Structure 1
Amino acid sequence: MAIEFLIASNVLLWLTLIGCVVALFGITRQVGILHERSAPLGAMITDHGPDIGDAAPKFEVVDYFGKAHRIGGPQPQETLLMFTAPTCPICDKLLPIIKSVSRDENINVFLVSDGQPEDHARFLKSHDLGDIPYIVSAEVGMRFQVGKIPYGVVIDSHGKIRAKGLTNTREHLESLVEGARSGHHSLQDYMKKTGISSIHSNGNGFHAEH
């Protein structure tokens, strides 16, 4: 009788454990869906660092491979600074989009990173950046007061900051570049100028509410 009771209790415990795992999986999936639907369409600006319209800090830098570059000041074309890290998984996912922007948008792109030398070596060994300079500099990030990555800053040909913000997705990065060119510096700026109170997903696209 005791053995039968022990077997029954073990079976019940296993069923309870399996039920908890299934419930946890369902909750995790719903959280992911909610995150996607509530995510902003554009790069979200922060209140730190040089403001939009300010002259960007100027730097004379040398990239990872020893080539000299100038950041800030008058340039032949726009500049996109992408602040990343060699151990950032979101940055890895964005890298193909960053390379596409560099190739197709007539804009100079710099990857600005910080971290341990071995991490940079490992990152560059496994990623082909093409012509994109890879800058290892804590100073550049500190001057722009970048607190979270991946973070993008668009600087126009006159050396003025035109857009900046967190860029966690393709939409964020594309909105950063297009926003700088259209005069909308951020998603918040667009919503303010157009009188939109919120933007959300309805499952078939995005819907704006005034």
Structure 2
Amino acid sequence: MNTFFWISYSILWLLVVPLVILNLVLFRQLGIMVMGTARGVNQSGIPVGKKIPEAVTTKLQGTEWSTSELMGMPSLMLFGSPTCKECADILPDFKRIAEKNNVKPVLLLFSSVDLASDYIRKIAYEDEVLIVSSEFANHLDVQVTPYAYAVDTNGVIRHKGLVNSREQLEAYAKAARAS
């Protein structure tokens, strides 16, 4: 009986240790998804303090737009998507916060022109909207939404990362002004 006890005791520990490790990994993933602590996502993108690279995309109306148009005025670039729930939650405050902080709002949508047009009409957004191509997104190192860059008057990135609340939008707009 003593031998049986020690064998079963050892086997249980061999099962418990990997389960504990697996639970820790799962809790970390849950924290990243639910709590918005995706440090890895916030470390992506163009580093803070670097100048935004020259990149070209198209406006919703079909004309070209370049990141060089950001020079001379602090800007808040918000990357969103018509299918992003968090984007829909913060978009009503986006233009108001940008105007309040005297920064230019730049809304960039990962979308087709048709879907973006319907979405903009539905939310009654009246400012300029840009369509993000995969090439443009790769050039600016943006893979998720809602993602933002606070760009100062010299085209230097002052803040970047995921934006999930009105308070974060405020912080980004203030960072763009503080150059």
Query: Aligned pairs, how many?
Result: 145
Question: If the length of structure 2 is used for normalisation, what is the TM-score?
Answer: 0.68
Per-residue deviation, 1:62: 2.7
Pair 1:44–1:174, CA change in 2 (3 A) = farther
Unaligned runs of 5+ in 1: 1-34, 184-210
Find out whether 1:103 has 2:95 as its counterpart.
no
> What amino acid maps onto 1:55 in structure 2?
K
SS at match of 1:165: strand
Within 5 Å, which residues of 2 pair with 1:75-154?
A: 75-154=71-150
Per-residue deviation, 1:78: 0.8
Question: If the length of structure 1 is used for normalisation, what is the TM-score?
Answer: 0.59
Matched residues in 2 for 1:166 and 1:82: separation?
10
Find out whether 1:47 has 2:43 as its counterpart.
yes
Find out whether 1:60 has 2:56 as its counterpart.
yes
Unaligned runs of 5+ in 2: 1-33
Residue 161 of structure 1: aligned partner = 157
Residue 12 of structure 1: aligned partner = none
Per-residue deviation, 1:45: 6.9
Q: Deviations over 1:136-156 (max 9, x none)?
A: 333332122223210110111
How large is the Cα RMSD of the aligned pairs? 2.7
SS at match of 1:87: coil
CA contact (8 A) 1:109 1:133 kept: no
CA contact (8 A) 1:112 1:137 kept: no
CA contact (8 A) 1:165 1:176 kept: no
Q: Deviations over 1:145-194 (max 9, x none)?
A: 223210110111111111111110111111122234457xxxxxxxxxxx
Pair 1:126–1:162, CA change in 2 (3 A) = same
